Amino acid sequence: MSPFSPMRISAGTVVTALGAGLGPLRAALQERRGGLAPCSFPGAPGGIWAGAVAGLEEAAPPPDLAVYDCRNNRLAELALRSDGFAAAVAAARDRYGPERVAVVVGTSTAGIEQTEQAYAARRPGETELPAAFDYGHTHDLQALPAYLRARLGLRGPGLVISTACTSGAQAILQAASLIATGMVDAAVAGGVDSLCRMTLHGFAALELLSAGPCRPCAEDRDGIAIGEGAGLVLLERPEAAAAGPLLLGAGASSDGHHMSAPHPEGLGAVAAMRAALAAAGIAPGEIDYVNLHGTGTRANDAMEDAAMHQVFGNAVPCSSTKGWTGHTLGASGAIEALIATICLEAGLVPGCLGIVAADPAFRSQVATGNRAMALRRVLSNSFGFGGSNCSLVIGQG
């Protein structure tokens, strides 16, 4: 088996703070209009901003799947209803057979927000959780692929990957690998992650949250704005689906350095980018734009700039789009893979939002305004706690 077999992205959908579907995200990128707002999530730390998704109250699962109801699965449900995605998957299911379509998705929190509600619903002095709380269909990581699989009528393998903020990108890589083995013919892949008190308070405890909208690559950047969302793609072999961009390559690595601090020279980031380029069989100069992980923390953005410079010099424009969506954690790799498809289609380099100029210490070519230019291939980076790194190369179909 060849090290990497390209896959067609024959359908895709996205849900972010900009709205449900690719259209609102594309318009916001072109108009340079972000989706972050002061955080009104119940029980969140004070004085922070977030990228919350509107409309979840209307996105309950169908009645026969009501056991799966939680914020995370509502984000997934909203994604299925957008961009004709559920219909595209149904067509693949009918063409290949339901047992030949896998679900491989990433999440860092799954439905832990449901557990937080169950904890909060206890009366003073009570320890037991409410009888109606269903751990397995909500909090459990497997609840996400189980819901998608049931909702889409699929019978292929259902896997969940949870590697912190690379989960969505790793899931796309793993889905492509699974199709290449011949076990399945198509896969629903991507990531979903939802706002919850655990991540908001956890990042606050690490002093990594920004005081306003996050400003990746700014000299005075002050941290992350947490977002939520979903990004899903339908992957098929290139010859099986006529239209759509291509996943040309993917690569992963580990830092083996520290649990939450990135390697200062970006050793793991460089390894992931080079592995993705090697999998695609292309040289760094054949990449036209890099969508950075770009969280807006001091350490991540400095590390990523060093890694970018090592791989690309200053020859390739790069930017982070987290100023629009916030950092959607386990969904970010998948959402940004879909942003890459928007950029390819629109011929757009979306410069970092909310900054005038990049940190003068940075040596890579950070774009700060939108540029219109034909793009053939985009590289998308994701890095996460535990030292996990994953890069995807997405190109014109």
Annotated catalytic residues are 165, 293, 327
User: CB of residue 98 vs other proteins: minimum separation in angstroms?
Assistant: 8
DSSP 255-289: --S-SSSPPTT-HHHHHHHHHHHHHHT--GGG--E
- Nearest residue (CB) to other proteins, 82 versus 177: 177
User: CB of residue 373 vs other proteins: minimum separation in angstroms?
Assistant: 32
Q: How far is CA 282 from CA 70, 277, 291, 394, in A?
A: 42, 6, 17, 12
User: CB of residue 167 vs other proteins: minimum separation in angstroms?
Assistant: 8
Q: How many CA atoms lie within 13 A of 239 on its CB side?
A: 2
Cα separation, 83 vs 92, whole angstroms: 15
User: CB of residue 180 vs other proteins: minimum separation in angstroms?
Assistant: 7
Q: Which residues pair with 189 in a beta bridge?
A: 104, 233
- Among 221, 300, 222, residue whose Cα is nearest residue 268: 300
Q: How far is CA 379 from CA 163, 333, 393, in A?
A: 20, 11, 4
DSSP SS3 for 111: coil
- Nearest residue (CB) to other proteins, 140 versus 345: 140
Length of the chain, in residues: 397
- Among 288, 293, 298, 299, residue whose Cα is nearest residue 395: 288
CB-based contact 293:305 (threshold 8 Å): no
User: CB of residue 119 vs other proteins: minimum separation in angstroms?
Assistant: 5
Rounded to 5°, the CA angle 100-59-66 comes to: 70
- Nearest residue (CB) to other proteins, 28 versus 179: 179
- Nearest residue (CB) to other proteins, 151 versus 197: 197
**What residue ranges in the chain does DSSP mark as E strands?**
7-16, 19-20, 37-38, 49-51, 101-106, 158-161, 186-193, 226-227, 229-236, 246-254, 289-291, 317-319, 348-349, 365-366, 371-372, 377-384, 388-395
Residues near other proteins (CB under 8 A): 1, 3, 43, 98-99, 108, 110, 112, 115-116, 119-120, 127-129, 133-136, 140-142, 146, 149, 155-164, 170, 174, 177-178, 180-181, 183, 197-198, 201-207, 251-260, 267-268, 271, 275, 384-388
CB-based contact 213:225 (threshold 8 Å): yes
Cα separation, 389 vs 272, whole angstroms: 6
User: CB of residue 181 vs other proteins: minimum separation in angstroms?
Assistant: 5
User: CB of residue 331 vs other proteins: minimum separation in angstroms?
Assistant: 15
- Nearest residue (CB) to other proteins, 31 versus 207: 207
- Among 186, 389, 373, residue whose Cα is nearest residue 289: 373
- Nearest residue (CB) to other proteins, 226 versus 348: 226
DSSP 51-98: EPPS-GGG-PPPGGGGGG-SHHHHHHHHHHTSTTHHHHHHHHHHHH-G
- Nearest residue (CB) to other proteins, 22 versus 272: 272
Q: What is the DSSP letter of 227?
A: E
